[in-house]
Amino acid sequence: MNIVLYGNPILRQKCDNINISKKGIEDLSKNMVEQMYKGDGVGLAGPQVGLKKNIFVVESGKGPLSLVNPEIIYRSKEKNKKKEGCLSLPGVEVKVKRSKEIKIKAYLVERGKEVEIKAEGLLARIIQHEFDHLQGTLIIDYLPFWKKKQAIKKLEKRVRE
């Protein structure tokens, strides 16, 4: 399992739900968690490892969470803007405005059932970032046009190297 870099079309595709009853979800989430830590990241989504599947893993501060078929069911109106990086966009950081608090519904692999999780602060930001990946949205999409063009040039050069 390797991290997919900018330029790979899978990063721009909307993901498909996963059949929970199928075996292999535990192994997949374990492999994704290992890859996330190996890449020194705090989150990793299916498309970032070449899978067009609705799954992402995040570091919660109390250990990893593997969320399957997630749905954000609440976003606070209160937002903040902070810098974010991305394992698939090496060397690029973007200030992104996100809700300070969210609530997400998903199948949590670690518990083997569907749960609702309320998150705030950094965890809420990480979840929103990874959720964006499942929709085909990247942090550079939050940039104004001319800054986005600069970031894309930087990314293309880096990926070639």
Whether 130 is catalytic is: yes
Catalytic residue among 78, 130, 156, 161: 130
CB burial of residue 72 (10 Å; 0-12, 13-18, 19+): middle
Opening angle at CA 79, ends 114 and 126, nearest 5: 45
Contact 125, 61 (CB under 8 A): no
Q: Which of 57, 58, 64, 52 is nearest to 17 (CA)?
A: 52
Active site residue ranges: 130
